[in-house]
Amino acid sequence: MSHEATSVAPEASLEPTPVGTLANLPRYLSKDLLSGFLVFLIALPLCLAISLASGYPAIAGIFTAIIGGIIGACLSNSELTIKGPAAGLIVIAVGCVTDFGFTGGKDPVADMQAYRLALGVGVAAAVLQIGFALLRTGALGEFFPTSAVHGMLAAIGVIIIAKQIPIAVGVKATGEPLELIRDIPHTLMSMNPEVALIGLVSLIILFGKPLIKKGVFAKVPAQLIVVLVAIPMGMAFDLTNEHSYSFAGHDYTLGERFLVNVPKSMFAALTRPDYSGLLQPVAWKWVIMYALIGSLESLLSAKAVDFLDPWKRKTNLDRDMLAVGVGNLLAALIGGLPMISEIVRSRANIDNGGRTRFANLYHGLFLLVCVALLPVVIHRIPLAALAAMLIYTGFRLAHPSEFMSVYKVGPEQFLIFVTTIVAVLATDLLVGIAIGIGLKICLHLYNGVPMRSLFKPYLQILDDGENHCRIVASEAAIFSHWILFRRHLVMAGLERHKNVQLDLSETHFVDHTVMEKLHELEQDFKREGLTLEVVGLENHQPFSRHPHSARKRPRMSTT
């Protein structure tokens, strides 16, 4: 998940800041409609792929994206985020249905019951998210240390790849992530050649398309190209009919089980939740996972989109959380997956010239029309092509550049990052990220952070004039008390419209998360025509050359 800001688009400086109001709807109609259509082309196959990988019916992700487009446009003030199902929640969703008895197609009755019980969990998690929003807890997204969050996302990417490789090559495989990774050579040796060819061609398109920088072809979404190529390949291999074929002395079978299964009527697919699962203790584990991890991912994505926004508009995170919570509630009530503010489709919205939140609405409406009128076409999409899309998404989450960028920040951040990945793969998301956070706290204690300052910042606020405020921090500036630390900076500066000078010279230790978030807060001050100046780090020793690396002040020797 990238948090890098991009330069302002040339056209952005030639028009006033776009605002998604009904009065402005005609003004930005053409740009938002075009962007919404292009995002729809990306979202359609991804929604289907995410649904199937989550153990839900294929159409469940479409329901979620439709509701996300409508609710996001109505409730959130985030102008460029696209709401919908995300690959980052696959691990939670499939874990939830598995605990409720999901069999992976062996027992359709059991699978439907597991699905309905998971929808009940989704309703409870959505109510919890709405509560988060009403209690104005959007700032909770500030608590989690950066390296642990990136480690969690990279682990999700590895899990997605491990689970989708068998589908991409036409092999059934089950097991825990580490077991699936161990069995990859055997899976590849057991591949169904014609199905694997569809998966391979799809992967070549997905990885090769970004290399094309110019021409009309460069503007066509890779996911659309995959669908346009994979459907004819599926027809050539006659996937709609059960049959067998021989290759290299081995017999293989093909049939409709290798194609997306969607109902002919969208309304027939509407499914009501079963709340009886909430009486089981295991259900509340998944309620908490959905609410916490989903909220965290959504908040991080919304913040990332703000940095990418050419007009530097700022999202009200509590309002955006309310939109996500209400959207999740409605989606779960009709049979949809959980949703978040999704970064990949949001980035596509920006790149395609979206102006306001109505682009999100249009992408949802295009999906609605598609599933209502073209279910036969959707049924023709091979599962191997969708699996390839998720493998590509997983690779981007766990890209080698993520490992390199974390390593450049400092060896201690790399240790937290890798530990979180291994812990998530060996346990689950909640335990894994808890282990990453625990390791970071242990490293802070090792580096001399006093126990008393783990959750309490020590700040002295000094007014230096009508338009200026000076804040002196002591002891430490670390992730675990950043929410309170940030609140003091916001109250002293943004709320009172004053410039702030933050003096860190008396701190013994400043961690990477605080360094990175201070940089983000500097941008918030800049948007309001103010300055946040961070001083006093001259005598602190950085852990690496990275500008946001942790830094420690050597203790003065006493003689």
To the question of domain 453-552 being in CATH 3.60.150.10, the answer is no
- What is the CB neighbour count within 10 angstroms for residue 495? 10
pLDDT (tens digit, 9 = 90+) per residue, 484-517?
999 999 999 999 999 999 999 999 999 999 999 9
Q: How far apart are CA 200 and CA 187, in angstroms?
A: 14
Distance (Å) of CA 15 to CA 10, 12, 19, 345: 10, 6, 11, 24
559 residues of the chain, pLDDT tens digit each:
433 333 344 444 456 789 999 999 999 999 999 999 999 999 999 999 999 999 999 999 999 999 999 999 999 999 999 999 999 899 999 999 999 999 998 999 999 999 999 999 999 999 999 999 998 877 777 778 889 999 999 999 999 999 999 999 999 988 889 999 999 999 999 999 999 999 999 999 999 999 988 887 888 899 999 999 999 999 999 999 999 999 999 999 999 999 999 888 888 899 999 999 999 999 999 999 999 999 989 988 988 898 888 998 889 989 999 999 999 999 999 999 999 999 889 989 999 999 999 999 999 999 999 988 889 999 999 999 999 999 999 999 999 999 999 999 999 999 999 999 999 999 888 899 999 999 999 999 999 999 999 999 999 998 777 789 999 999 999 999 999 999 999 999 999 999 999 999 999 999 999 999 999 899 889 988 999 999 999 999 999 999 999 999 987 654 4
Closest CA to 341 of 361, 321, 368: 321
> For the stretch 30-41, what's the b/e string if a residue is b when 16 or more beta carbons lie within 10 angstroms of its beta carbon?
ebbbebbebbbb
Q: Which residue has the tokens 């309304």?
A: 267
Distance (Å) of CA 186 to CA 169, 203, 245, 257: 12, 20, 21, 22
The helix or strand, by DSSP H or E, that contains position 438, with its residue range, turns out to be helix 429-446
Strands 82-84 and 340-342: antiparallel
Crossing angle of helices 29-53 and 358-373, in 10° steps, is: 60
Return the SS3 of 468.
Answer: strand
Half-sphere exposure of 555 (CA within 13 A, CB side): 7
Domain ranges of the chain: 19-394, 453-552
pLDDT (tens digit, 9 = 90+) per residue, 126-137?
999 999 999 887
Q: What residues does 342 pair with on adjacent strands? A: 82
Backbone angles phi, psi at 232, to 5 degrees: -60, -35
